[in-house]
Amino acid sequence: MISNERFISLCVQKVMLYENAREDQDEFLNIDDVFVVWSCKTLQNSKCLVSAKNKGAYYYEFTMNGDKGEIYMDVYKKVENIPLDLDGNRITTRVRETKITPKNCIVSTGCCG
């Protein structure tokens, strides 16, 4: 069995290699371009969610089964983003956002709102 830190490092490396091997990506990634979104370790098992900074990067889920000494890599591609309201209904019209400047803003460049 490997440590959780080694597991995370291996996952980040695998994402970098997978993204760099994709035919539809022309941006070369370094290890610093890959990031862990979430990770968890419970007993001898570990899991992490990983992605990369390049546009169109896939989403990766890694699971380490400590009992079997195996790591599973699942690769996800975003197909669609469907906006829902808090009742679960699909949002078909959007409310136009208004820009609000805080009363205490002292910067004239509009950076506060």
**pLDDT tens digits for range 90-104:** 998 876 666 666 665
The answer to whether the beta carbons of residues 24 and 92 sit under 8 Å apart is no
* Segment 55-59 mean pLDDT: 95
* pLDDT band at 109; cut points 50, 70, 90: low
Q: Both tokens of residue 90?
A: 């699909």
From residue 67, alpha-carbon distances to 1, 2, 7, 43 in Å are 9, 12, 15, 10
Cβ(11)–Cβ(50) under 8 Å? yes
Q: Strand order of the sheet with strand 34-42? A: 34-42, 45-52, 59-65, 70-76
- How much is the pLDDT for 94? 73
Decide if pLDDT at 113 tops 60: no
pLDDT at residue number 37: 97
Read off the amino acid at residue 16.
Answer: M
Confidence at residue 72, expressed as pLDDT on a 0 to 100 scale: 98
Look up residue 53 and give its DSSP letter: S
Burial 91-111 (b: 16+ CB within 10 A, else e): eeeeeeeeeeeeeeeeeeeee
